[in-house]
């Protein structure tokens, strides 16, 4: 079944609506909806603004009112078929008299799936898969989390050209440039959880908040998670009131992710030290790697990752590079190179 140019244009608009800035990241997917009249003109638009708010279809139907009868709904995600904080979008579309639904990405959530089948059962014409790649890219973390029942893990670290994260005396502040640190905060803001180990909290005392280019905290902060068995001093900055913090009393990466998944967390930004990174890598639980490489050599000092038990080149962890960006230094600072990569093999 084919789609019209008006429907394809509406899907592009639906995806744009879904990506509206300011929408909370998770636990729900980002969705946009456009209602078209029989002549292809737009009747109404809507997008999901976060958990507990009307879904994109419901928002568009509310704007359209009676004009929705006989319309085509173009949606970036298959309409849901379950009752949660809001009712099923499939039933809302049927009740409004929508005669055709075009959607991009099938709903991967086993709780919500079945909307397309319910619509067809009610006599609504349904077309799926229009601009599916763009829709999946928009909700890549949500889709991964639903499919794997754990959060997507991005491991970020800064390193010198020879793989050192700190000098022999422990100093590490200037391994990354200010431009790289600002970029790191941007990436932190795309995640819903910051994860470090107890050793990092004890030694570095990080605050683990997201700050803007003026070093001011942003309004919405990710969850701060500390992984490890040891008790921690309450005076550590990670326990201040600038963001919520949980202590995951486990050394098992899989267990830690399961606990975060139970808290509706979908994207973990792993910023711990080399031991924590090594544990996640060894468990096959790193899904993306972001590294900032500084053009300097130390020759000694802490390694970016702990011993992985690899003794021969054939067992090396290989990564596919998806992006290389040069971050130019300012005021005499070194230029850093940001590499974004995905491990080629995932064991879990």
89 is in an annotated binding site: yes
278-174-222 Cα angle (round to 5)? 60
The last residue of one of the domains, among 108, 142, 176, is 142
CATH number at residue 335: 3.40.430.10
20 is in an annotated binding site: no
* pLDDT of 347: 46
The answer to whether residues 117 and 189 belong to one domain is no
* pLDDT of 318: 92
* pLDDT of 112: 64
Q: In terms of residue numbers, what domain contains 83? A: 5-142
The answer to whether residues 268 and 157 belong to one domain is yes
Tell me how far apart the alpha carbons of residues 302 and 250 are, in angstroms, rounded to a whole number: 24
Active site residue 57: yes
* pLDDT of 25: 74
The answer to whether residues 180 and 329 belong to one domain is yes
Please tell me the pTM assigned to this model.
0.86
Find all residues with CB under 8 Å of 231, minimum gap 6, and list them: none
332 is in an annotated binding site: no
User: What's the gap between Cα 15 and its chain centre?
Assistant: 16
The answer to whether residues 129 and 192 belong to one domain is no
The answer to whether residues 116 and 198 belong to one domain is no
Q: Which of 57, 78, 130, 288 is catalytic?
A: 57
* Residue numbers in the chain where pLDDT is lower than 50: 346-348
The answer to whether residues 188 and 318 belong to one domain is yes
* pLDDT of 151: 97
The answer to whether residues 110 and 227 belong to one domain is no
Could you give the maximum distance between any two Cα atoms of the chain, in Å? 71
Q: Is the peptide bond between 133 and the residue preceding it cis, with omega within 30 degrees of 0?
A: no
40 is in an annotated binding site: no
Average pLDDT, the chain: 91
């Amino acid at each position: 079944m084919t789609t019209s140019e008006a429907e394809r244009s509406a899907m592009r608009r639906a995806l744009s609506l879904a990506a509206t800035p300011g929408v909370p990241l998770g636990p729900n997917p980002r969705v946009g909806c456009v209602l078209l009249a029989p002549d292809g003109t737009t009747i109404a638009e809507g997008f999901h603004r976060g958990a507990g708010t009307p879904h994109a279809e419901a928002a568009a139907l509310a704007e359209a009112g009676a004009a929705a009868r006989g319309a085509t709904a173009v949606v970036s995600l298959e309409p849901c078929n379950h009752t949660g904080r809001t009712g099923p979008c499939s039933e809302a579309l049927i009740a409004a008299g929508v005669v055709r639904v075009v959607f991009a990405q099938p709903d991967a959530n086993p709780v919500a799936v079945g909307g397309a089948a319910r619509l067809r059962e009610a006599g609504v014409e349904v077309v799926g898969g229009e601009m599916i790649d763009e829709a999946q890219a928009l909700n890549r973390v949500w889709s991964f989390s639903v499919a794997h029942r754990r959060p997507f893990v991005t491991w970020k670290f800064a390193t010198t050209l020879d793989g050192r994260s700190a000098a022999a005396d422990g100093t590490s502040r200037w391994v990354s440039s200010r431009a790289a640190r600002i970029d790191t905060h941007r990436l932190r803001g795309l995640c819903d959880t910051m994860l470090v180990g107890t050793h990092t909290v004890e030694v570095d005392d990080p605050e683990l908040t997201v700050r803007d280019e003026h070093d001011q905290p942003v309004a919405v902060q990710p969850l701060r998670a500390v992984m490890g068995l040891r008790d921690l001093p309450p005076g550590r900055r990670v326990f201040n009131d600038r963001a919520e913090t949980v202590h995951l009393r486990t050394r098992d990466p899989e267990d830690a992710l399961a606990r975060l998944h139970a808290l509706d967390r979908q994207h973990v930004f792993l910023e711990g030290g080399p031991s924590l990174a090594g544990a996640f890598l060894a468990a096959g639980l790193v899904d993306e790697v972001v590294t900032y490489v500084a053009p300097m050599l130390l020759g000694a000092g802490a390694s970016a990752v702990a011993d992985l038990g690899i003794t021969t080149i054939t067992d090396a962890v290989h990564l596919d590079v998806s992006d290389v960006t040069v971050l130019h230094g300012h005021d005499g600072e070194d230029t850093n190179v940001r590499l974004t990569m995905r491990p080629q093999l995932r064991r879990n």
